Amino acid sequence: MHIEIDEISKQFGSTAALTPVSLNLPSGALVALLGPSGSGKTTLLRILGGLEYPTSGRILFDGQDATGLTVQQRRAGFVFQSYALFRHMTVFENIAYGLRARPRATRPPKAEIARRVQKLLELIQLPQIGARYPNQLSGGQRQRVALARALAIEPRMLLLDEPFGALDAKVRKELRQGLRDIHDETGLTTVFVAHDQEEAMELADLVVVMSMGRIEQIGKPADIRARPASDFVRNFITA
């Protein structure tokens, strides 16, 4: 799905989290929102997912105004920073949650839900862990379960908030490839937030460098490396 962000701004009380930003995300792209903390990248992601409403501006999904859509109507697969798995449910129940929450008319039958959950568990290469609880999983496994849960609702886009933030270096590398594979397989427009420039540069097709609620530069990783648009970008990507 093609996402257009048109002059979006966000005020929290008297502080501006986003000064009007505009951004065009082509369908099927893997996009990184890169910036230091407080740069507004998570706010932008949450606005895309419908968890936060912009103070002004519009969001267009495939050319259609989506600004007023509720979080449920957005159908965005969202992976939270600490994964936010339902701790009182098994992995199976976590992944099935979105399918079970559908209205009766569109809810798949039980056997179909089980089949789809199993397929997703295979996609994240953890076919055996359906009966476990989140606190019995490693950090990397949790991240993959959160990804499977987000994919279960057949989302229109995938939004990830610091998906590798809480993991050690080795697991990070593995999961980076995992996310790339899942993106390529599903073809979903994917936006992830990162504060680590190496991660963003290596994984994304398109990098959006942000600072203080503004977009500093948009471009392919190689272009940003070759031609940083400002001193801030130059300092940030060499840091």
Partner 1 sequence: MSDATTLAAPPRPRAFRAATEESPAVRRGLILIAVAGLAILVFAPLIVVFAEALAKGAVAAVKSLQSKDALSAIRLTLLIAAISVPLNAVFGIAAAWFITKFDFRGKAFLITLIDLPFSVSPVVAGLCIVFMFGANSLAGGWLVAQGFPIVFALPGIVLATVFVTFPFVARELIPVMIEQGRAEEEAALTLGASGWRVFRTVTLPNIRWALLYGVLLCNARAMGEFGAVAVVSGKIRGQTATMPITIEMQYNEYLSVAAFSLAAVLTLLALVTLLLKTILEIRHADEIAATRRH
List residues binding partner 1 (CB under 8 A): 49-51, 71-72, 74-78, 80-82, 84-88, 97-98, 101-102, 133-137, 142, 149-150, 152-153
Smallest gap from residue 134 Cβ to partner 1 (A): 5
Strand partners, 11: 16
CB atoms near residue 52 (< 10 Å)? 18
Smallest gap from residue 77 Cβ to partner 1 (A): 7
**Of 100 and 227, which has the nearer Cβ to partner 1?**
100
Smallest gap from residue 167 Cβ to partner 1 (A): 14
**Of 51 and 114, which has the nearer Cβ to partner 1?**
51
Smallest gap from residue 182 Cβ to partner 1 (A): 17
Strand partners, 60: 4, 65
Candidates 156, 158, 151; CA nearest to 61 is 156
Smallest gap from residue 132 Cβ to partner 1 (A): 10
**Of 41 and 74, which has the nearer Cβ to partner 1?**
74
Q: What are the tokens at 37?
A: 């903390």
Smallest gap from residue 166 Cβ to partner 1 (A): 11
Strand partners, 210: 215
Smallest gap from residue 29 Cβ to partner 1 (A): 20
**Of 146 and 209, which has the nearer Cβ to partner 1?**
146
- Residue 106 contacts residue 75 (beta carbons within 8 Å): no
**Of 24 and 82, which has the nearer Cβ to partner 1?**
82
Distance CA 147, CA 139 (A): 13
Distance CA 12, CA 52 (A): 11
Q: Give the position of tokens 């050319």.
A: 63
**Of 37 and 238, which has the nearer Cβ to partner 1?**
37
The whole-angstrom distance between residue 77's C-alpha and the CA centroid of its chain comes to 7
**Of 51 and 60, which has the nearer Cβ to partner 1?**
51
CB atoms near residue 20 (< 10 Å)? 18
- Residue 105 contacts residue 92 (beta carbons within 8 Å): no
- Residue 108 burial class via C-beta count within 10 angstroms: exposed 0-12, middle 13-18, buried 19 and up: middle
